[in-house]
Amino acid sequence: MSMNRTGRPTQSGPNSSNNAVPFETTSGHRGLHLVEPLIFEIGDARHSGVDLEDVGDFDHALGGLEREDRMGLPGLSEPETVRHYTRLSQKNYGIDSGFFPLGSCTMKHNPRINEKVARLPGLADIHPLQPESTVQGALAVMRDLAHWLTTLTGMPSVALSPKAGAHGELCGIMAIRSALEARGDARKVILVPESAHGTNPATAAFCGYQVKAIPANDDGRVDLAALKAALGPDVAGIMLTNPNTCGLFERDIIEIADAVHEAGGFFYCDGANFNAIVGRVRPGDLGIDAMHINLHKTFSTPHGGGGPGSGPVVFSKALAPYAPIPFVEEGEEGLFLREHKAAEGDKSFGRLVAFHGQMGMYVRALAYMMSHGADGLRQVAEDAVLNANYLLHELASDMTPSFEGPCMHEALFDDRFLKDTGVSTLDFAKAMIDEGYHPMTMYFPLVVHGAMLIEPTETESKDTLDQFIASMRALAKAARADETDRFTGAPYFAPLKRLDETRAARQPILKWTAPQSQEAAE
């Protein structure tokens, strides 16, 4: 046993190896691995963490509709509540915890100044239906955000209200369909590349279109010839992600746009990956007609464990008149909201959401844009692309890149390097958890086998990347050295082992029920 300078042993003794704990703890906890029950198991209806004044007696005016059942909503005191949710949080991995290279999701640092300003009472404690004279600052935020977005994309107009990327897609395709209908054109087909996010075909179908898949060519891009062959008088448009989901810039994009326009269709660009090109390329210069921007990706609003997002859509001149209400406009008495369609001649396809969209996200995104400025945003794209190419290059010898570089903001590998090892992409991902990383995106895009899509983002340092590269190389070598158990049994060091998803789907338990009522039901 070696000793360090302070006299503490630097290696663990024989009785404290990770694998062989000789006892079970009495509490079920294991140090910082705390087992936390559901609130339904620790709270009850007679506990509460708020103090409210006594209501006293008064004549109800509820029309005899008083609620009398037991609601099944347990309460906890404030300290118990804080502890419960703090413990739950400790079972989560976020960007704050470590490197989170989840491809196509853009897990970049979330600056806290954005959180702070979004909570200023003047921005958070205002109602969407207050008189416009009392919310001039909020309308100015919307106006200024719109200015940044249209300038960065080189597009003439933007609809801010869509609540997420997929909602933005809906907004864009609805505008396209409205524009086609306005010219009496009942086209029926939307072209979607095979590599697209699932939201693209789902959106097209939602708007009543048939979806036709366009194959990829050998270098991971849209097969231009196949695309041109698919175009015709029945094609309403194309939904294309650029940079695409393989992390590649569509080199033929201008030719694609021209071909689509020539055939009378519109070009919808999925802007999920705008973070790769912001400040270096304006989508407006590529010939697109509509594009959504995920404020929670490119502009760093927090993902929050799955939302809220925000998906403003920029429009070309041809589509701008069809964009949804509301809009901020400038009048003689200041800014105002156009919340309704004009009585005549208004081409807007209508309203997508109650109120005005994700104000809380607008504030955060605008704060992020202002912090970076025109210069910083360009650097964002450059560093994101630099980091991805560095990983692509450094991992190329141990893993199998799917396509020739350079890539844009993310690097795509497939599972050829795991061939005959008995280790799958899923196993490899779970082993990364043991190494302290959040796994990359797995099995997407669908165009390569066992896809591993790695997006480092610009907010990771070279040191972090170098450590990650070393871990990935070591794992790839271990897989090829037949250390299969390390993968197939992984994760070993997470709060839980692998979860039985089959059981969850075969006998869905979607809410908690009290044990006695379970018995009664049987």
Footprint of other proteins on 460-489 (CB under 8 A): 460-462, 464, 489
The alpha carbon dihedral of 178, 184, 189, 192 has a sign of: negative
Binding other proteins (rule: CB under 8 A), the pick from 3, 21, 113, 474 is 113
What 373-378 contacts at long range (C-beta under 8 Å, 24+ apart), as own/partner pairs, is 374/279, 377/152, 377/278, 377/279, 378/278, 378/279, 378/280
Task: Provide CB contacts within 8 A for 220, sequence distance 6+.
Answer: 195, 244, 246, 248, 402, 403, 412, 447
Binding other proteins (rule: CB under 8 A), the pick from 172, 271, 439, 456 is 439
Q: Does 66 help bind other proteins (rule: CB under 8 A)?
A: yes
Residue whose CB is less far from other proteins, 122 or 422: 122
Q: What's the maximum distance between 2 C-alpha atoms anywhere in the chain?
A: 86
Binding other proteins (rule: CB under 8 A), the pick from 9, 232, 233, 307 is 307
Residues 243-302 that bind other proteins (CB under 8 A): 248-249, 251, 253-254, 277, 279-282, 285-286, 296, 300, 302
**Type of residue found at 69:** D
Residue whose CB is less far from other proteins, 8 or 60: 60
Binding other proteins (rule: CB under 8 A), the pick from 29, 30, 91, 416 is 91
Phi and psi at 416, nearest 5°, equal -60, -35
Binding other proteins (rule: CB under 8 A), the pick from 10, 12, 25, 134 is 134
Residues 368-407 that bind other proteins (CB under 8 A): 369-376, 378-380, 382-383, 385-387, 389-390, 393-394, 406
Measured in whole angstroms, the distance separating CA 211 from the mean position of its chain's CA atoms is: 24
Binding other proteins (rule: CB under 8 A), the pick from 46, 345, 420, 520 is 46
Q: What distance in Å separates the CA atoms of residue 283 and residue 240, rounded to the nearest whole number? A: 12
Q: What distance in Å separates the CA atoms of residue 220 and residue 249, rounded to the nearest whole number? A: 10
Three-state SS string across 431-457, please? Answer: HHHHCCCCCCEECCCCCCCCCEEECCC
Residue whose CB is less far from other proteins, 23 or 58: 58
Closest distance of CB 150 from other proteins, Å: 11
Rounded alpha-carbon distances, angstroms, from residue 210 to 43, 166, 213, 319, 401: 50, 18, 10, 21, 33
Q: What distance in Å separates the CA atoms of residue 147 and residue 164, rounded to the nearest whole number? A: 20
Judge whether 248 and 401 are in contact, CB under 8 Å: no
Binding other proteins (rule: CB under 8 A), the pick from 9, 49, 232, 233 is 49
Task: Provide CB contacts within 8 A for 48, sequence distance 6+.
Answer: 75, 77
Binding other proteins (rule: CB under 8 A), the pick from 3, 29, 72, 317 is 72
Closest distance of CB 339 from other proteins, Å: 8
Residues 205-244 that bind other proteins (CB under 8 A): 205-208, 211
Q: What distance in Å separates the CA atoms of residue 148 and residue 372, rounded to the nearest whole number? A: 12
Residue whose CB is less far from other proteins, 25 or 151: 151
Length of the chain: 522
Closest distance of CB 67 from other proteins, Å: 5
Q: What distance in Å separates the CA atoms of residue 113 and residue 83, rounded to the nearest whole number? A: 26
Q: Does 308 help bind other proteins (rule: CB under 8 A)?
A: yes
Q: Does 89 help bind other proteins (rule: CB under 8 A)?
A: yes
Q: Does 349 help bind other proteins (rule: CB under 8 A)?
A: yes
Q: What distance in Å separates the CA atoms of residue 100 and residue 107, rounded to the nearest whole number? A: 6
Closest distance of CB 13 from other proteins, Å: 25
What is the token pair recorded at 258? 């021209």
Closest distance of CB 16 from other proteins, Å: 20
Binding other proteins (rule: CB under 8 A), the pick from 103, 324, 401, 445 is 324
DSSP line for 233-269: TTEEEEEEESS-TTS---TTHHHHHHHHHHTT-EEEE
User: Nearest to residue 256, comparing CAs of 288, 234, 285?
Assistant: 288
Task: With contacts defined by CB under 8 A, name the span among 232-240, 357-365, 414-422, 447-455 that binds other proteins.
Answer: 357-365
Task: With contacts defined by CB under 8 A, name the span among 5-13, 105-113, 225-233, 473-481 that binds other proteins.
Answer: 105-113
Residue whose CB is less far from other proteins, 3 or 38: 38
Size of the site for other proteins (CB under 8 A): 204
Task: With contacts defined by CB under 8 A, name the span among 8-16, 223-231, 313-321, 503-511 that binds other proteins.
Answer: 503-511
Closest distance of CB 376 from other proteins, Å: 4
Q: Does 458 help bind other proteins (rule: CB under 8 A)?
A: yes
Closest distance of CB 315 from other proteins, Å: 16
Binding other proteins (rule: CB under 8 A), the pick from 34, 84, 226, 471 is 84
Judge whether 284 and 152 are in contact, CB under 8 Å: no
Q: Does 309 help bind other proteins (rule: CB under 8 A)?
A: yes
CA dihedral 468, 469, 474, 475 (to 10 degrees): 70
Residue written as token pair 């650097």: 379
Binding other proteins (rule: CB under 8 A), the pick from 313, 328, 352, 411 is 352
How many alpha carbons lie under 13 Å from residue 427 in its C-beta half-sphere?
A: 18
Q: Does 186 help bind other proteins (rule: CB under 8 A)?
A: no
Q: Does 303 help bind other proteins (rule: CB under 8 A)?
A: yes
Q: What distance in Å separates the CA atoms of residue 332 and residue 334, rounded to the nearest whole number? A: 6
Q: Does 52 help bind other proteins (rule: CB under 8 A)?
A: yes
Residue whose CB is less far from other proteins, 231 or 359: 359
Q: Does 143 help bind other proteins (rule: CB under 8 A)?
A: no
